[in-house]
């Protein structure tokens, strides 16, 4: 039987056991396990990697614990702007969206763009209109409103500061039962195909119109059957500058590095060299997976047909 593997993440950052209550730790673990099972059921029954990563990310988008879809943060105008991308490693088709306000599952719109249009990337009103044409579910702003997210924004709205969802504002004084970052998934299916998907609400109090790495092919999301499938999370501007996801693939394809070696090089050397923090998840064509991060923690989970199953929150890797 050919190997198959699924990995996912729910954000990386300052995630300390001392700052997360037992109840919140349990809720996050259950949410990660539920998303993992959703994608695993698809792979285990012979489904495609593309279906597995889309459905896994949809599960995370529907969970208000994570900064994507329903749990998206507020921008400087007190609005939501969501980004997502998906990529098929078989032929390197890709779809991406940015600046969405009402689409329930941005990752599904990204896939529709990939499969039902001649384009790769749509943003703003054009993307929303395409969603309506494709019959993709939309929601009123109230659906995306989360009181914790709203309080995060209130702390920053009168300043020029932005806040990564995995960070605490200097003004913050409340309990550290926080919700953390970007979500993503990467998979290898029984047919030997790889795929990756990433979705995010961005940064609290971000400037209207800001686009991070999650929707940028090669920066925060990438898949190629020649090398690997990758989804990133962290300080998006640094992942863009590093072209992090594609760099990992290139280290494997052109330098002959293993997945583990290439992933560590990108996260612990190249990103750190320019001041970037965060992590990534990746799967190669042999079913190996890597989950490196240079922060205190990363919400993550993995399962492979070799019998390995893992769910984690805190460091070390």
Distant-in-sequence, close-in-space partners of 69: CB < 8 Å, separation ≥ 6: 58, 60, 61, 62, 82, 104, 105, 106, 144, 199, 201
| C-alpha span between 76 and 74 (Å, rounded) | 7
Q: Name the phi and psi angles at 183, rounded to 5.
A: -120, 155
Choose the catalytic residue: 182, 204, 233, 295.
Answer: 182
| C-alpha span between 74 and 67 (Å, rounded) | 10
| C-alpha span between 128 and 141 (Å, rounded) | 14
User: By three-state DSSP, how is residue 227 classified?
Assistant: coil
CA distances from residue 7 to 45, 80, 123, 132, 299 in whole angstroms, order as listed:
17, 27, 27, 31, 11
| C-alpha span between 235 and 248 (Å, rounded) | 17
The separation between CA 57 and the C-alpha centre of its own chain, rounded to angstroms, equals: 8
Q: Which 8-state DSSP code applies to residue 305?
A: T
45 given a catalytic annotation = no
* Residues composing the chain: 317
Residue 293, H or E segment: none
- Sign of the dihedral defined by the CA atoms of residues 175, 176, 182, 187, in that order: negative
Q: Which residues are catalytic?
A: 182
């Amino acid at each position: 039987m050919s190997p198959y593997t699924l990995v996912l993440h729910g954000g990386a950052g300052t995630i300390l056991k001392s700052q997360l209550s037992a109840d919140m730790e349990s809720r996050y673990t259950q949410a990660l396990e539920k998303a993992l099972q959703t994608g695993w059921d698809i792979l285990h029954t012979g489904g495609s990697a593309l279906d597995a990563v889309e459905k896994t990310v949809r599960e995370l988008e529907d969970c208000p614990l994570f900064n994507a879809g329903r749990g998206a943060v507020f921008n400087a105008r007190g609005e939501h702007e969501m980004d997502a991308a998906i990529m098929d490693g078989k032929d390197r088709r890709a779809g991406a969206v940015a600046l969405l306000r009402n689409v329930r599952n941005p990752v599904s719109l990204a896939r529709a763009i990939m499969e039902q249009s001649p384009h790769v990337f749509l943003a703003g009103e054009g993307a929303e209109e395409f969603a309506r044409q494709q019959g993709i579910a939309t929601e009123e702003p109230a659906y995306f409103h989360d009181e914790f997210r709203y309080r995060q924004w209130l702390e920053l709205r009168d300043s020029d500061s932005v806040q990564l969802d995995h960070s605490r504002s200097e003004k913050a004084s409340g309990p550290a039962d926080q919700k953390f970052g970007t979500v993503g998934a990467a998979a290898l299916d029984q047919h030997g195909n790889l795929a990756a998907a990433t979705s995010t609400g961005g940064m609290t109090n971000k400037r209207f119109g800001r686009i991070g790495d999650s929707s940028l092919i090669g920066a925060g999301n990438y898949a190629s059957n020649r090398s690997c499938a990758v989804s990133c999370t962290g300080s998006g501007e640094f992942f863009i500058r590093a072209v992090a996801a594609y760099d990992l693939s290139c280290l494997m394809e052109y330098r002959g590095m293993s997945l583990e070696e290439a992933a560590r090089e990108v996260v612990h050397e190249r990103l750190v060299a320019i001041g970037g923090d965060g992590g990534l998840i990746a799967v190669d064509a042999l079913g190996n997976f890597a989950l490196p991060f240079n922060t205190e923690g990363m919400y993550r989970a993995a399962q492979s047909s070799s019998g390995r199953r893992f769910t984690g929150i805190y460091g070390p890797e």
